[in-house]
């Protein structure tokens, strides 16, 4: 009798051990496959080798959530694509009447006008130029985010690129009383980048400094390929700085902008294998774009 009980107990322990082992294997399969499904753009679902009912029900529940997640992702992509198309179409449609308005404004400027009329005309001209600038930025944004746009990497001297961008903005900076301090390493820092995309990134970062600087700007390039734009910006706070790269985010101080400049810079930098971020400490805004050596 005791022998029979020992045999039954041994069989039971063995069965439990095998069941636990099977469940552990199923759990590992779920973890592995769930990680793969979330990281890859695939329509496949979680499949298990075990016949355990509870683990299979768990996998079925996760598969339902995966289907919901994919549907939400598809809706997001569709909405994002429709937004890009709408931005492209709207910016294109606005260009034609704006061109006509600018033409008529030029004709009016040749007429004899009273001082008040001349002042009104100047205000209209300024606002029209601002609208043209915003329209062009919207159009560039839609083009930059187009998946069809191809980058053409080539060896680029970051030292020369920073100097060229600074020279292009020097007049605008000094007009605001900003004397930029440019710090470059003695060694040439060369990276494989798209020259036009890099120029756009640097231009947008200088434009950002024009918007938010309280009167200074320090641009530093390191041999590691990090380019930092630092300036006093007492009107900002950490929450606002955390949103600077969000699409269409714009502060009241920059209400004449679409809020797309830094978003475009981030997209282009990441496409070239770089990274961009912003920090705020002791009243200073620092935007850093990094291009690590491949």
- On whether both 53 and 164 belong to a single domain, the answer is no
What's the number of domains the chain is made of? 2
Domain-located, residue 148? no
Structure-model confidence comparison of residues 166 and 21, the more confident one? 166
pLDDT digits (tens, 9 = 90+) for 136-163: 777 777 666 665 557 788 999 999 999 9
The confidence score (pLDDT) of residue 111 equals: 85
**What is the end-to-end Cα distance of the chain in Å, rounded?**
74
Q: What is the mean pLDDT of residues 121-131?
A: 85
3-class state of residue 243 by DSSP = coil
The confidence score (pLDDT) of residue 233 equals: 86
Q: Which of 38, 97, 33 is nearest to 68 (CA)?
A: 38
- On whether both 68 and 161 belong to a single domain, the answer is no
Judged against a pLDDT cut of 70, whether residue 184 lies above it is answered with: yes
How does the average pLDDT of the chain come out, rounded? 81
Instruction: Report the range of poorest mean pLDDT among 8-12, 110-114, 206-210.
Output: 8-12
The confidence score (pLDDT) of residue 27 equals: 74
The confidence score (pLDDT) of residue 4 equals: 67
Q: Within 13 Å of residue 287, how many CA atoms lie on the same side as its CB?
A: 29
pLDDT-based confidence at residue 253 (cuts at 50, 70, 90): very low
pLDDT-based confidence at residue 43 (cuts at 50, 70, 90): confident
Domain-located, residue 29? yes
Structure-model confidence comparison of residues 98 and 175, the more confident one? 175
- On whether both 178 and 284 belong to a single domain, the answer is yes
Domain-located, residue 122? no
- On whether both 70 and 157 belong to a single domain, the answer is no
Domain-located, residue 84? no
Last residue of one domain, picked from the residues 41, 75, 109: 75
% pLDDT > 90, the chain: 24
Query: How is residue 147 annotated by DSSP?
Result: T
pLDDT digits (tens, 9 = 90+) for 4-22: 667 677 667 666 666 667 7
- On whether both 68 and 170 belong to a single domain, the answer is no
What is the domain extent for residue 209? Answer: 153-290
144's tokens: 């930059």
3-class state of residue 282 by DSSP = coil
The confidence score (pLDDT) of residue 242 equals: 78
Domain-located, residue 87? no
CATH number at residue 244: 3.30.565.10
Last residue of one domain, picked from the residues 10, 41, 75: 75
Q: Could you tell me the CA-to-CA distances from 198 to 65, 176, 211, 275, 292 in Å, in that order?
A: 40, 25, 20, 12, 14
Domain-located, residue 123? no
Q: Which of 213, 126, 235, 226 is nearest to 169 (CA)?
A: 213
pLDDT-based confidence at residue 249 (cuts at 50, 70, 90): low
Q: What is the mean pLDDT of residues 18-43?
A: 72
Domain-located, residue 113? no
pLDDT digits (tens, 9 = 90+) for 64-87: 888 888 888 788 777 767 766 776
The confidence score (pLDDT) of residue 67 equals: 84
Domain-located, residue 24? yes
Last residue of one domain, picked from the residues 58, 75, 92: 75
Q: Within 13 Å of residue 178, how many CA atoms lie on the same side as its CB?
A: 27
Sequence-distant (6+) residues with CB within 8 A of 111 are none
- On whether both 56 and 161 belong to a single domain, the answer is no
Do 279 and 286 form a contact (C-beta atoms < 8 A)? yes
């Amino acid at each position: 009798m005791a022998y029979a009980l020992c045999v039954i107990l041994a069989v039971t322990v063995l069965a439990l051990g095998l069941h636990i082992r099977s469940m552990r294997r199923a759990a590992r399969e779920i973890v592995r496959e769930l990680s793969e499904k979330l990281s890859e753009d695939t329509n496949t679902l979680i499949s298990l080798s075990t016949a355990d009912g509870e683990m299979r029900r768990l996998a079925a529940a996760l598969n339902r959530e995966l289907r919901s997640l994919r549907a939400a992702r598809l809706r997001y992509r569709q909405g994002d694509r429709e937004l890009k198309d709408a931005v492209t179409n709207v910016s294109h449609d606005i260009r034609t009447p704006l061109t006509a308005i600018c033409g008529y404004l030029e004709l009016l400027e040749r007429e004899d006008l009273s001082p008040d009329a001349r002042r009104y005309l100047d205000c209209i001209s300024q606002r029209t130029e601002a609208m043209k600038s915003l329209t062009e930025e919207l159009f560039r944004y839609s083009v930059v985010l187009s998946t069809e746009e191809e980058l053409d990497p080539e060896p680029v001297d970051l030292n020369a690129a920073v100097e060229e961008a600074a020279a292009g903005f020097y007049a605008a900076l000094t007009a605001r009383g900003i004397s930029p301090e440019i710090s470059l390493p003695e060694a040439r820092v060369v990276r494989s980048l798209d020259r036009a995309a890099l120029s756009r990134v640097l231009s947008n970062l200088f434009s950002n400094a024009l918007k938010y600087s309280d009167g200074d700007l320090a641009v530093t390039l390191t041999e590691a390929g990090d380019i930092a734009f630092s300036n006093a910006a007492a009107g900002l706070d950490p929450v606002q700085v955390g949103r600077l790269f969000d699409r269409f985010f714009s502060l009241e101080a920059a209400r004449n902008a679409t809020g797309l400049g830094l978003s475009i810079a981030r997209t282009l930098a990441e496409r070239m294998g770089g990274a961009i971020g912003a920090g705020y400490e002791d009243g200073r805004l620092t935007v850093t774009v990094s291009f690590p050596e491949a």
